[in-house]
Structure 1
Amino acid sequence: MSIKAIAAKIFAHYIHNKTQKWANNPVETQQKVFESLIKEAAQTQFGKDHDFSSIKTHADFVQKVPIRDYEGLKSYVDLVVKGKENVLWKGKPLYFAKTSGTTSGAKYIPLTKESMPFHIQAARNAILSYIHETGKADFVSGKMIFLQGSPILEEKNGVKLGRLSGIVAHFVPKYLQKNRMPSWETNCIEDWETKVNAIVEETINENMSVISGIPSWVQMYFEKLSAKANKPVGEIFKNFNLFIYGGVNYEPYRAKFENLIGRKVDSIELFPASEGFFAYQDSQKEKGMLLLLNSGIFYEFIKADEFFNENPKRYTIGEVEIGVNYVLIISTNAGLWAYNIGDTIQFTSLKPYRVIVSGRIKHYISAFGEHVIGKEVEAALQEAMEGTDIRVNEFTVAPQITPKEGLPYHEWFIEFDSEVSEESNNLEDFALKIDAAMRKQNVYYDDLIVGNVLRTLVITKVPKNGFQEYMKSIGKLGGQNKLPRLSNDRKIADFFTNSQL
């Protein structure tokens, strides 16, 4: 074992003990975060507008600070972007993480000197938790890659801005810089397909031990690698044994990845966003990710089925239950207050608090009152694939409200693995398997099928690389961009039904 690996194991033990202290005192930890946030922001414009000086309890906070999304906070963010200080948080932010908005164009999420370190520490601690639990540390001596956005930053009124992953690239610790790939020059390539091709050339002869990124884009990298070398990724990189991912559920990709790699590898799930780093997988044995309660973020939770009520109850960490679908609300040391990031989560454990991401509050299907969420379609697809040779590259689901004939239905647009799609011509059987699994997942959906409001779902095959073409058509190919699993309309569906793919 190398000196670097030995040092990593010692450091992992130290961080584990620190984590246990706050994880074992969750309510007290969150109360301290809450009090600190209110105190630090009391003299900001937002703090004065919302009478922070009189806020003593969570009930006070609920009364004075309503739930907002980016649109609701935009008037304050616009002032920060123009260069004004002490608006949402003390002083000016260090960076803006620029993300794509749906109704407001580009979104500028502030990153402050208080919030930025937690983005870096959380990613580091996820790996250290893995080392502490498994005892595996040799991978730290190999090469590591993170498929990310360009680190080239712009500047707006004295504040640098770019994609979060590009900003984070500037904070890679010195002890990892020699191990990190791709090169800075390759990382700066903007065109995603050109960039992936360059990464393949750079890495194909290296000792890669850790690979990280959003599964859909790592899959593209693996396919290009395998095609170039004419062998599985696991044979190209004999010491590759750890895949780190975030952004989407890995399970629909797992079988495809194991086929591309040629063997199983360990994985670590992360829950990062521009607004904060919320959770990471701290155990290979337990389900869910450890919710980071000591990272400058105060959490509130609203039951998803109550979210659109006039005044839904806002729960704190000590009030949540296992298995309930909650909308995640955050207040942070970057100046986001009672902010709805759009994600829904469920708790899998309360000792410690672990979560899974169940979907997006805006990404669901309820065209007929079925309330179908992302977690349900992913689980149904996974169950339907069990015991079959069918592998799925990518998929999305949309309602078909006005079919040419018969009852309405859910239309599943699926890009199958090319080897399977040619052999698998009986899609109706596969559709019935998914449908049966969906009916077990969602009682409302089952009722609609039984009541002849909906017919069983229909699968529409998407040609190979069809979803990449869709993402390219909307300018979101690669990086940290993710395909919605569910839509309540047919914007994505229309691309495939109207295109000449």
Structure 2
Amino acid sequence: MSLKTFGAKIFASVIHGKTQKWAQNPVATQQKVFNKLLAAAKDTHFGKDHGFEGITTPADFAAKVPVRDYEGLKNYVDRVVHGEADVLWPGKPLYFAKTSGTTSGAKYIPLTKESMPYHIEAARNAILAYIYQTGKSAFVDGKMIFLQGSPELDEKHGIKFGRLSGIVAHFVPAYLQKNRMPSWETNIIADWETKVDAIVGETYHEDMQVISGIPSWVQMYFEKLQQKEGRPVGDIFKNFNLFIYGGVNYEPYRAKFESLIGRRVDSIELFPASEGFFAYQDSQTEKGMLLLLNAGIFYEFIKADDFFTENPRRYTIGEVEVGVNYALIISTNAGLWAYNIGDTIAFTSTAPYRVVVTGRIKHYISAFGEHVIGKEVESALNEAVAGTNVTVNEFTVAPQITPATGLPYHEWFIEFEKEPEDIDAFALAIDAAMRKQNVYYDDLIAGNVLRTLVITKVSKNGFQEYMKSIGKLGGQNKLPRLANDRKIADALK
């Protein structure tokens, strides 16, 4: 055992002890965060506009600070982007994480000297939690790869900006720098396909032991490795045994990954975003990710079913229930206040508080009142695939409201690696799984309002070509699992 692996185990034990202290006192921990945030920002423009001086409880906060998305906060953010200080948070941010907006073009999410360390610590602590639980630490001596955006940064009014993953690349601890790949020169390549080719060329002969990234883009890397070497990834990298991912559910990709790797490997799920690092998988046996209650973020939760009603109730951590679908609302030490990040979560446990990401509050199908969410379509597909040799590369779902003939239906666009022998039977299996999960969908099928879902096969790399056509190939970009319109569906057709 090397000094580094021995030290990693000791450090993992220390961090585990610190984590337990706040995880076992969730309500008090969140109240402390709440108090600290309000005290720090009371003299900012936003704090004065919303009476932070007179807010003492989360109920006061909910009464004075409405829930906003980026559009609702944009007037304040624009002032910060143009160099104004003390707007949302004291001083100016260190960085802006630039992300793709929907109606406003680019979004600029502030990262402050107070918020930035938590992004780094959370990723580190996720790995340490894995080491503590499994006792496996040898991988810290091997090579690690993080598929991410370019670390090159621009600057506006004295504030640097770029992709979050590129910003974070500047904070990789020194003790990991020698192990980390790819090189700077490769990491700054703008074109994703060219970049992945370069990463393959740099890494195929290395002792890669940890690989991290969004599953869909890691899959592209694995496929190119296999094409180059003509053998499974697990044979190319014999000591590769840990996959770290975030952004999307891994389960729809698991069978494909195990086929590409040639064996099953351990995995760690993360829940990072430009707005904050919210949770990480702290257990290899328990479902869900540990919600980070001490990380400079005060959480509120709105039941997804109530989200679009007038003045829905905002719950705090001590009031949530297991199994309920909530929209996640955050207030942070980067100056985001009652901010709707767009993700929905459900709690799998309240001792400690663990969550799974269930989808996006705006990504659902409810053309007929069924309100199908991402978690349901993913679970239905996994159930249909179980016990078969079917392998799915990627998929998305959209409603077909005005078919040429017959009743409306949900259309599933699926790129198969291995197709089912009977596509109609496979569609029925997915449909049956959907009906078990969603009573509204079941009622619509039973009442002859909808007919059984229809599968439309997508050609090999069809989804990659679609993402490329809209300028979102690679990096942190993710294909929506479902939509209430046919924008993606029509493009695929």
With the shorter chain as reference, the TM-score category is over 0.9
Report SS of the residue matched to 1:165.
helix
Report SS of the residue matched to 2:336.
coil
Distance in 2, matches of 1:211 and 1:373, equals: 29
Aligned equivalent of 1:338: 338
Q: In the TM superposition, what are the counterparts of 1:18-29 in structure 2 within 5 Å? A: 18-29=18-29
Deviations 1:224-253 (A, max 9, x none): 001100000000000000000000000000
Report SS of the residue matched to 1:286.
coil
Q: In the TM superposition, what are the counterparts of 1:366-445 in structure 2 within 5 Å? A: 366-417=366-417, 420-421=418-419, 424-445=420-441
Deviations 1:82-108 (A, max 9, x none): 000000001000000000000110000
Matched letter for residue 435 of structure 1: D
Q: In the TM superposition, what are the counterparts of 1:49-60 in structure 2 within 5 Å? A: 49-60=49-60
Report SS of the residue matched to 2:492.
helix
- What TM-score do the two structures reach when normalised by structure 1? 0.98
Deviations 1:37-81 (A, max 9, x none): 000000000000001000011111011100000000000000000
Matched letter for residue 450 of structure 1: A
Distance in 2, matches of 1:278 and 1:61, equals: 21
Distance in 1, matches of 2:155 and 2:382, equals: 44
Distance in 1, matches of 2:2 and 2:390, equals: 42
Matched letter for residue 341 of structure 2: I
Q: In the TM superposition, what are the counterparts of 1:252-271 in structure 2 within 5 Å? A: 252-271=252-271
Distance in 2, matches of 1:415 and 1:283, equals: 32
Distance in 1, matches of 2:27 and 2:446, equals: 44
Shift of 1:442: 0.5
Alignment RMSD: 0.5
Distance in 1, matches of 2:237 and 2:387, equals: 28
Matched letter for residue 5 of structure 1: T
Matched letter for residue 251 of structure 1: E
Distance in 2, matches of 1:465 and 1:408, equals: 28
Shift of 1:426: 2.1
Report SS of the residue matched to 2:12.
helix
Shift of 1:157: 1.1
Matched letter for residue 306 of structure 2: E
Q: In the TM superposition, what are the counterparts of 1:71-82 in structure 2 within 5 Å? A: 71-82=71-82
Aligned equivalent of 1:158: 158
Distance in 2, matches of 1:323 and 1:439, equals: 18
Report SS of the residue matched to 1:367.
coil
Aligned equivalent of 1:352: 352
Aligned equivalent of 1:457: 453
Report SS of the residue matched to 1:160.
strand
What 5-or-longer segments of structure 1 have no aligned partner? none
Are 2:9 and 1:13 equivalent residues in the alignment?
no
Matched letter for residue 137 of structure 1: S
Distance in 2, matches of 1:475 and 1:263, equals: 33
Deviations 1:174-230 (A, max 9, x none): 000000000010000000000000000000000000000000000000000011000
How many residues align? The count is: 493
Matched letter for residue 489 of structure 1: D
Deviations 1:104-131 (A, max 9, x none): 1000000000000000000000000000
Q: In the TM superposition, what are the counterparts of 1:294-305 in structure 2 within 5 Å? A: 294-305=294-305
Distance in 2, matches of 1:58 and 1:405, equals: 53
Question: Identity across aligned pairs (percent)?
Answer: 80
Distance in 1, matches of 2:456 and 2:307, equals: 32
Distance in 2, matches of 1:262 and 1:24, equals: 40
Shift of 1:279: 0.1
Distance in 1, matches of 2:56 and 2:413, equals: 50
Report SS of the residue matched to 1:394.
strand
Q: In the TM superposition, what are the counterparts of 1:294-333 in structure 2 within 5 Å? A: 294-333=294-333
Report SS of the residue matched to 1:484.
coil
- What TM-score do the two structures reach when normalised by structure 2? 1.00
Matched letter for residue 188 of structure 1: I
Displacement over 6 Å in runs of 4+: none
Shift of 1:425: 4.8
Are 2:474 and 1:478 equivalent residues in the alignment?
yes
Distance in 2, matches of 1:496 and 1:25, equals: 49
Aligned equivalent of 1:86: 86
Matched letter for residue 424 of structure 2: E
Distance in 1, matches of 2:65 and 2:456, equals: 45
Matched letter for residue 412 of structure 1: W
Are 2:469 and 1:489 equivalent residues in the alignment?
no
Distance in 1, matches of 2:334 and 2:126, equals: 22
Report SS of the residue matched to 1:133.
helix
Distance in 1, matches of 2:156 and 2:443, equals: 53
Distance in 2, matches of 1:406 and 1:319, equals: 46
Deviations 1:123-177 (A, max 9, x none): 0000000000000000000000000000000111110000000000000000000
Matched letter for residue 221 of structure 1: Y
Distance in 2, matches of 1:8 and 1:99, equals: 34
